[in-house]
Chains A and B, each alone.
Chain A
Amino acid sequence: MRYLLMICTDETSIEALSPAEGEAMLAEYGAFREEMTSRGVLEGGERLRPTTVATTVRIRDGEVLTADGPFAETKEQVGGYFLADCRDLDEAIEVAAKIPAARLGTIEVRPIWEM
């Protein structure tokens, strides 16, 4: 089963990391990717730039409306994702628990709706 693992953290606390802490975290992400890729569970994943550079797009009454910022104000924001193909939810949870941001924020594990 495929799952989207959404990495939700408070952007301001990520920004507050020192360069050394930031690099250490990146290295952890590297190790995570390597392990999960060779396990055959990782189908993709990217880091996202903060919501301060996000843009929303809506069509209302035939008009394209764009605005600055995320679609909703939340305490934690989506900072990245991984797409995982796992045996079951327990494996997805185990994978999610190894994402470095799990210690700071929240990983939402959402099943892909296969069409």
Chain B
Amino acid sequence: MIRTTGDWDLAEECAQDAFARALERWGRDGVPRNPGAWLTTTARNQAYDRLRRAKTGAAKQREAAMDAMNDASSESDRSSSDDRLRLIFTCCHPALSLEAQVALTLRTLAGLTTAEIARAFLVPEPTMAKRLVRAKAKIRNAGIPYRVPPDHQLPERTVAVLAVLYLLFNEGYGASEGGDLIRQSLCDEAIQLTRTLARLMPDEPEVVGLLALMILHDARRLARVDESGELVPLEEQDRGSWDSLAVSEGTALLDAALRRGEPGPYQVQAAIAACHVTATDPVDTDWSEIAQLYDRLVEMMPTPVVALNRAVAVAMADGPTAGLVLLDALEDSVLSSYYLLPATRADLLRRLGRDAEASDAYCAAIELAPTDAERRYLSRRLTDVTHQ
């Protein structure tokens, strides 16, 4: 029977069913001449029936998934976390390109606009719109199922989901359009989904690492923007307003993850965040430790943004000149339209007293800055260097 249906559970079920029917039927009609064959045939027909119905069921499920995708809003609904998990695994199916996975999850589960998603990926809006249309078409026309993957596939499928959640949190943490710097609901959404995933996969240290990272960032949320909506840099933040309970939870989660001895990019980033949030005063920040953690991170994730952050850490640990050397290497990368590259260069030049160059770099950064809060912050820095 197992060879016929290729599925242990189905085979067992159908065999049970066949026996039950046999007892019923034979009681009525008498035992057939070849009871073994009757049982096998009945069981096999049962199995085919079920498979046929499963196919129709799957088609109906796909329609349900399509509807869910079109209706999904950014409202967090704690009672439907299972549905959200199904949706996120569907959106992150490996048959979709990674870019499509991230875009679709951001669009469907978080309700971001196409424009907002486009900015997060440093691509033009029409490109992103096309990407989303193609992704939905792929799910429908290629028959991507609407479900949480079976156990044996869960670990590899989770890596994709984590990448999506990470980007989702980042979008909420530093919003892309308009005057608001932080879109609280997106951070909550990302944290909630990651908590659910961590519950589902308690033995995956990277899931816990990501959760720790989000919570440690989120702990600083209130201090990041002042009453007038101005961006407050890390060294000027009121550390007393950092959520100490969140810091405790975040560091505890990180410790638990690291104890497994399987370090990964999210755990390393969480460790960097922990270095910051456990320093009671900015001068107590262990920048050498942070720079070393970035060295490890660059090995795991050799992306221009990570390299940029490493340059900042090195500048803090070894001086601005050392940082500028690392920035020079990033000039021709995809970061050319990312405001933090000229902003970082400007900051290091300012610390070295090279005001004219710093002024040029701040202007370039202001051009590229995505929110009013960031533009205002950079403008104030520009004033600092042009008034000297």
Contact present for B145 and A39 (CB under 8 Å): no
* Chain B residues whose C-beta falls within 8 Å of the C-beta of A109 in the assembled complex: 142
Contact present for B48 and A89 (CB under 8 Å): no
A90 to chain B, nearest CB (A): 5
Of the four ranges (under 10, 10 to 19, 20 to 34, 35 or more), the interface on chain A belongs to 10 to 19
Contact present for A89 and B143 (CB under 8 Å): yes
Residue in B4, B59, B62, B149 whose beta carbon sits within 8 Å of that of A38 in the complex: B4
Residue in A3, A38, A86, A88 whose beta carbon sits within 8 Å of that of B144 in the complex: A88
* Chain A residues whose C-beta falls within 8 Å of the C-beta of B62 in the assembled complex: 88
B137-162 to A contact mask, C-beta < 8 Å, 1/0: 00001111100010000000000000
A88 to chain B, nearest CB (A): 4
B385 to chain A, nearest CB (A): 55
B270-293 to A contact mask, C-beta < 8 Å, 1/0: 000000000000000000000000
**Would A87 and B55 be within 8 Å (CB), given that A35-B6, A38-B3, A93-B95 are in contact?**
yes
* Chain A residues whose C-beta falls within 8 Å of the C-beta of B141 in the assembled complex: 111
Q: Does A92 contact B (CB under 8 A)?
A: yes
**Would A87 and B51 be within 8 Å (CB), given that A38-B3, A39-B5, A111-B141 are in contact?**
yes
- Measured CA separation A35–B141 after assembly (Å): 26
* Chain B residues whose C-beta falls within 8 Å of the C-beta of A89 in the assembled complex: 93, 95, 142-145
A39 to chain B, nearest CB (A): 4
* Chain B residues whose C-beta falls within 8 Å of the C-beta of A22 in the assembled complex: none
B60 to chain A, nearest CB (A): 12
* Chain B residues whose C-beta falls within 8 Å of the C-beta of A40 in the assembled complex: 48, 51
Q: Does B298 contact A (CB under 8 A)?
A: no
When C-beta atoms are compared, the residue in chain A nearest to B139 turns out to be A89
B11-30 at interface with A (beta carbon < 8 Å): none
